[in-house]
Amino acid sequence: MSTQVQNNGVAASKTNTQPLWLLAEVTYRCPLHCAFCYNPTDYDKHTKNELSTEQWIQALRDARKLGALQLGISGGEPLIRDDIEEIVAEAGRLGYYTNLITSGVGLTEKRISAFKEGGLDHIQLSMHDITEEINNFITNTRTFELKKKVAAMIKDHGYPMVLNVVIHRYNIQHVKEILEMAEALGADFVELANTQYYGWSLVNRSQLMPTKEQIDEAEAVTNEFRKKVGNKMKIYFVVPDYFSDRPKKCMNGWGEVFMIVTANGDVLPCHSARVLPNMTFPNVKANGLKWVWEESPAFNKYRGDDWMKEPCRSCDEKEKDLGGCRCQAFLLSGDAEAADPVCTKSPHRHLIDEAIANAQKPHLKAQPIFFRNDKNSRKLIEGESRELVEEFHALP
């Protein structure tokens, strides 16, 4: 009697899709420097031309008219902007179900009260580990104690608490303890998000990737924990696609249900679409969102399956995953229309297997992690550290 939107198999066409999920990446500035961040490695270019408050409000209104319902306010760290209260209040008036996605840095009693008044529905807090050492190492900051304080503040104000924990080699063996911590903090939802390799995490792939055995163990521990806590705390374990033999149905299909407005106003069908070649993305400063969603060449480019080549075109599973992720296909194979290399039917699957094997080599483990910060972003833009991204077709 109901339709689970994330799993609907609605055939793509520009007339029956709606941008139900709107992600507002309001800034790429961030006090944290996480090595697994999916933000663009050239984000430093987009830190000085951010949309104004009025432009964000207009974008929210336009997207709502198109049917947008779930709003994520993300970044970078959204709380770096001092107008999030205004944006939240407008989202509340418009009837969005609004989620603030934050590291917790910058969340004060005063701000959280204003968010409550403005109708913010929930807060997703990123946590990193049960140990101060690993939290501080992977984020390149000293934020461990602060995050625990923020978690308590979220709870005190009656918000549902959604903890997001990105999982990688350095914390995967602590999944049980992480879940115990989440339970102790009173989390309602926990997302154990295995690292996906885009942006900074792709640069650091060899240093972050766990082994297959570690993933299996983490999943077993999670299932065990689920039985124990039941519905009190919902746990999502996002399976990393490198370790499966079919790709994910990325974004539930290109231009199907997701729309992302980035800090400078570019509108994207997925987080990392700007890595794709020969694409011009629309921008809210110049284009209305209705045109962007329904008519723009960028949003229509990979809608449905007309663009597919073999082995996807004749594949009997093509509607299940729509060929996987266009960005991953391009970043790894150099061809944006190739099958996602995760698929064992892809002629590029060996690239995934090599990456998995490489990550286990001791000399790679010894390589320094390339943290997400303004200086490193400029190094990539200016070409100084281009050897880090060259093999991924991801030159800024």
> Rule CB under 8 A: which residues touch another protein?
1-6, 18, 20, 65-67, 69-70, 95, 97, 99, 121-122, 124, 160, 162, 188-189, 191, 231, 234, 236
CB of 154 or CB of 339, closer to another protein? 154
CB of 7 or CB of 280, closer to another protein? 7
Report DSSP state, residue 26: -
The least distance separating another protein from the CB of residue 288, rounded to whole angstroms, comes to: 16
The least distance separating another protein from the CB of residue 117, rounded to whole angstroms, comes to: 17
Residue 155 main-chain phi, psi, to 5 deg: -65, -45
According to DSSP, the residues that pair with 251 across neighbouring strands are none
According to DSSP, the residues that pair with 97 across neighbouring strands are 70
Give the number of other CB atoms < 10 A from CB of residue 239: 12
CB of 31 or CB of 186, closer to another protein? 186
CB of 224 or CB of 236, closer to another protein? 236
Residue 327 main-chain phi, psi, to 5 deg: -70, -45
The least distance separating another protein from the CB of residue 293, rounded to whole angstroms, comes to: 12
The least distance separating another protein from the CB of residue 154, rounded to whole angstroms, comes to: 12
The least distance separating another protein from the CB of residue 153, rounded to whole angstroms, comes to: 17
Q: Are 139 and 33 in contact (CB under 8 A)?
A: yes
Q: How far is CA 119 from CA 49, 54, 125, 233, 260, in A?
A: 28, 19, 18, 23, 21
Measure the CA–CA gap between 103 and 124, rounded to whole angstroms: 8
CB of 95 or CB of 383, closer to another protein? 95
CB of 10 or CB of 381, closer to another protein? 10
The least distance separating another protein from the CB of residue 320, rounded to whole angstroms, comes to: 20
CB of 6 or CB of 360, closer to another protein? 6
The least distance separating another protein from the CB of residue 10, rounded to whole angstroms, comes to: 11
What are the helix (H) ranges across 66-194? 84-94, 109-118, 132-139, 144-156, 175-185
Report the first-to-last Cα separation within the chain, whole angstroms.
47
With a CB cutoff of 8 Å and minimum separation 6, the contacts of 137 are 170
Measure the CA–CA gap between 366 and 387, rounded to whole angstroms: 17
CB of 1 or CB of 286, closer to another protein? 1
Give 213: exposed, middle or buried? Use CB within 10 Å, 0-12, 13-18, 19+: exposed
Residues 323, 329, 335, CA angle at the centre, nearest 5°?
110
The least distance separating another protein from the CB of residue 286, rounded to whole angstroms, comes to: 24
Measure the CA–CA gap between 40 and 42, rounded to whole angstroms: 5
According to DSSP, the residues that pair with 380 across neighbouring strands are none
**Amino acid occupying residue 28:** Y
- Per the structure block, which two tokens stand in for 131? 């140990």
CB of 234 or CB of 246, closer to another protein? 234
Measure the CA–CA gap between 154 and 249, rounded to whole angstroms: 33
CB of 189 or CB of 307, closer to another protein? 189
The least distance separating another protein from the CB of residue 64, rounded to whole angstroms, comes to: 8
According to DSSP, the residues that pair with 21 across neighbouring strands are 70, 258
Report DSSP state, residue 158: T
The least distance separating another protein from the CB of residue 6, rounded to whole angstroms, comes to: 7
